[in-house]
A = this chain, B = another copy of it.
């Protein structure tokens, strides 16, 4: 493995800000990674993603291995070139999406056999194959170990067995990954809601040694309080000098509270998915632009954000576009939402750097609790 440098420039409580330095550029942390599921951050041009403030995006192994196929992307020069993104890319292992999207799946010690949701074709995902796809074929800057996402509601025994399988898959992922010059591999903490299992998972992962540590198995229905509780006892067990990545999270409030607990990286489809469904994110929560109260509202979504979608289009116009089901509605809202998320991360980084994160967090919480109606 190649340990990317991760200089932390300020710590404020458990929150910290720094830079993860990859060969394709620096990732300012805490960082939000827009999701480029099928080699595109949905409804955005790559230049817009970058200009919105994203230093890194996420690609989905499951989607890409099925369509257009990992070998095809490799023949076309790798994922960066294929999708026109020259910054760092983190790929997931495919494990979570096999678990949630594939039509049939059969777990074994070896890996997961599944049928594609697109055409029903059969595939096998093992730790070794996942690393081959991510690191060799797609050319990800950061690869994730294959893991099993433990279902929320699993009993302790199921959760323990699942977590132990993920540990074994992690070791096989690391063996398959080997030594690489400018690519990194992250391990994934599992253990569901059980503190001792999370602790055991974290300890074993650190013992094995990864370039970064992800917290998996959250944002699967456990709720905000439980998520915070898991973070409270998990992040302190992860090395301070390595990035911590909370997978698949989340709403703005989740990001703020997770940063407060020492998380450095996030990914979530929420900004782009909400954008395709008429919603604009704000510190006050999600705003539904379809609502009739915006029909003649000349104000922009958020003039304080340096993004044309946030600043230059009236809500009345976006309301019309959403109602008329026009592409441009989804395009503008997705763009605004990514810019909003990146702006939120930038504000958190600045607050941590100034030693003012607790004040930021308190102010944010009061806006969040006031709700969308207060944001007008």
Contacts and interface: CB of A to CB of B under 8 A. Distances in A.
A317 interface: yes
Contacts of A276: 327
A72 to B, nearest CB: 6
A354 to B, nearest CB: 36
Given A295-B72, A298-B76, A83 B327 contact: no
A330 B40 CA distance: 12
A141 B330 CA distance: 29
B317 A84 contact: yes
A120 interface: no
A320 B75 contact: no
A38 interface: yes
A312 interface: yes
A326 B365 CA distance: 35
Contacts of A82: 314, 316-317, 320
A335 to B, nearest CB: 10
Contact of A321 (B40, B319, B328, B330): B40
Given A295-B68, A313-B84, A320-B67, A327 B327 contact: yes
Interface string A72-108: 1001110000111000000000000000000000000
Interface string A310-344: 00111011011101101110110000000000000
A144 interface: no
A45 interface: yes
B38 A326 contact: yes
Q: For the complex, would chain A's binding face be called helix, strand, loop or mixed by DSSP majority?
A: loop
Contact of A320 (B39, B295, B328): B39
A43, A67, A317 — which one has the most chain B CB atoms within 10 A of its CB? A317
B295 A40 contact: no
Interface in A22-79: 38-40, 42-45, 67-68, 72, 75-77
A83 B320 CA distance: 10
A167 to B, nearest CB: 34
Contacts of A321: 38-40
Contacts of A296: 72, 75-76
Nearest to A68: B320
Contacts of A67: 320, 323-324
